A and B are shown apart, each in its own frame.
Chain A
């Protein structure tokens, strides 16, 4: 009785999702105030917010897969950022094989770029699945502790990056070097590059597609079920091996496109994915580990905060801002925005 009452008391004292949102809101407000104090114009803040949403879209492409993979396989995939890198460089390699077409409308890329994306996504998804067959599945079969799985993914991350170094060197790379990428006025003096609007639109379209897959198809529901309770999934007769295949195909494919979009927005270098890993994990934790919709919400919050902070901080500190947010969430509400209390009860 006393223990029950005490638990209730403690629950009342702990912040719920609303509390966490308020905390994040205040953090954001603090950033905005700091920016205004330093004389940053509202226009620029608005423009940064728009950029933040776009960055959030790119992060979401990685974070949704990272969250799904953690949910289904119980694997914190440290190689996820490097899957993004591989996606970007594989796109670059394929583009080199095709003669450049004329730029598509206001965009800096040509039609064949879209074709390349459609090829690269399933390829990287399948590479990720092969890595699972070769490394993670034997570990799972032996009942390896999570730390071994995590360390293996770290080794794979290093391996993938080394391949990229070997193949392309350490220099910055562009999909279409030399092509002008002028910004156009969107509204109210906010200037963005058309490419960035494309990135946001593609990210949103893919996220909508993933939503439909998870909610409407049998395989999608089985993925959510396995992420929810993998032991029960097995007992219920769900073909968990097929769920694993789909999870890697979707997670790896989204990461590849996310990486290519990141490269399209700025430039590519072999460590790009590695530096995205921290914001990715921050997004996943913020939105509750294993919950793909939470990962989307987390990505948008991280993306906007990152960009806004660049108004007065060196943009290189962006990942650090994500890191601070992650620590805050872990301290205040480790189960994230959408976590259920008392999972084991």
Chain B
């Protein structure tokens, strides 16, 4: 069953059209990856889903309910969590406070939820009293993901989680995405690192110039000579 559906959305900033007639779908328990060249509209697609941008036409549905243009703090309550690509931690707050802010809308005890995040990222437990601004890029990505997971969302949206990380950390972050998904959380991510993210994803979408170019299972897209030529560094 589809958790998230984007149907024929056209949108953009001001007068400038960025996405045209875009279709996306995320099913329960899936990892879906959006790949494509710079400027293809990948991040805009994420912002659209998270209500930071309204569609000019078309529909965005979460569990069958229209969510187009709904404010982020209400989306969060519905079970959607979003990790932006840059400035995705509160730098002057400690790691623990960052996690608490992820659960701002909740009233119950937070300890069990923190416990789960620390289990996933033991590194964060060691550094829980440290300010997030003093941490390395990889650790910050963990803080950002941990913050989003505090709500135990149904769908986790990651905007370029591997951007700017050393290769070893890229592998670590992707491994964590797999672990999160193994707990039943669906993941929608946008990635520059097309090969790795398609290896991880159940399904992928290739975006170009704001349109759907191709979609299908991650492995199929990886084997597609056209995709390989255009986005995977020229090797067939």
Contacts and interface: CB of A to CB of B under 8 A. Distances in A.
Contact of B101 (A222, A231, A343): A222
Contacts, number: 70
A237 B81 CA distance: 9
A228 B148 CA distance: 17
A237 B102 contact: yes
A240 B72 CA distance: 11
B73 interface: yes
Contact of A236 (B52, B86, B102): B102
A228 B93 contact: yes
A75 B50 CA distance: 26
Interface residues of B, number: 27
B72 A234 contact: yes
Given A221-B101, A222-B104, A237 B76 contact: yes
Nearest to B144: A232
Tell me what chain A mostly uses at the interface: helix, strand, loop, or mixed: helix
Given A234-B72, A238-B101, A238-B104, A228 B92 contact: yes
B57 interface: no
Interface in B131-163: 133, 147-148, 151
A162 interface: no
Interface residues of A, number: 21
Given A236-B102, A239-B105, A224 B72 contact: no
A236 B76 contact: yes
A340 B91 contact: yes
Given A235-B82, A236-B104, A229 B91 contact: yes
Contact of A233 (B71, B101, B148): B101
Contact of A239 (B50, B73, B82, B93): B73
B100 interface: yes
A47 B234 CA distance: 77
B87 interface: yes
B152 to A, nearest CB: 12
Contacts of A291: 92
B87 A224 contact: no
Nearest to A238: B104
B84 interface: yes
A238 to B, nearest CB: 5
A234 B52 CA distance: 10
Interface in A208-234: 218, 221-222, 224-225, 228-229, 231-234
Interface of B: 50, 52, 71-73, 76-77, 82, 84, 86-93, 97, 100-102, 104-105, 133, 147-148, 151
